[in-house]
Amino acid sequence: MKVAAGAVLFFLGFGFTQICWAQTTGSTNTAGAGASAGDARSAAVPAVSYVVFGATGQQEALVRSQIEIMRPAVLPLRVVFVPHWKYVDNTRIFHLRVPAGYNSALFTHLPSRTVFIDADRYLVESLGYWLAHELGHLVTNSADEHEADNAAREFRRRLKDSRNRGLH
Ligand SMILES: [Zn+2]
């Protein structure tokens, strides 16, 4: 039992270290975004940027372009790509239950507005579809799957419109 308790503490510590690290990275990025706005007032404007952590350049570009198209009223604070083993640990740390029928490659930790993506299991083709669901949790600030899906409908419509425009 002693070993098990130690393991839990280790994983908790590891999880939060990662999140803190992401925040440090974020403040750097935010400063850059503010400077490019070139406006002294930007300091008073609420942060509209978020951090993508653990992603390849391609993954980050994909997430950012899709969130830009979906234009959620509430942005995540961070989107974190994690290897599968760590994703599984995080779902346990956050006491997450993934309901049957829902994708298990993404989940949102609402209190920290963090979207976790299983870097080994997500599919490029359906990332936007499921990201819409996670944004649904954020904009409704609800863990309810049906509320999240209802909110996701509008985001999925925007993604579809954008894809259709790309065909012309
Ligand atoms: Zn959900």
Domains in the chain, please, with CATH? 2-167 (3.40.390)
> Six-digit token pair at 130?
């499921």
Mean pLDDT over 147-160 rounds to 97
C-alpha of residue 167 to centroid of ligand 1, in Å: 30
pLDDT of residue 11: 40
- pLDDT interval class at 166 (50, 70, 90): confident
Residues 63-121: tens digit of each pLDDT = 999 999 999 999 999 999 999 999 988 888 887 766 655 557 999 999 999 999 999 99
Burial 128-160 (b: 16+ CB within 10 A, else e): bbbbbbbbbbbbbeeeeeeebbebbebbbebbe
Taking all residues of the chain, what is their mean pLDDT, rounded to a whole number?
Answer: 77
CA 135 – ligand 1 centroid, Å: 9
137 CA distance to ligand 1 middle (Å)? 7
Q: What is the pLDDT of residues 26-71, one digit of tens each?
A: 333 443 343 433 444 444 444 468 999 999 999 999 999 999 999 9
Q: Residue 102 has what pLDDT?
A: 58
* DSSP codes of every residue in 62-84: HHHHHHHHH--SS--SEEEEE-H
Distance in Å, CA 159 to ligand 1 centroid: 19
Quote the ligand 1 centre to 145 CA distance (angstroms): 5
CA of 146 to the centre of ligand 1 (A): 8
- At residue 134 the predicted structure's pLDDT band, cuts being 50, 70 and 90, is very high
Strands 78-82 and 114-118: parallel
Q: With residue 107 as reference, give the H or E element that holds it.
A: strand 106-109
Alpha carbon of 101 to ligand 1 centroid (Å)? 10
Cα-to-centroid distance, 49 and ligand 1 (Å)? 23
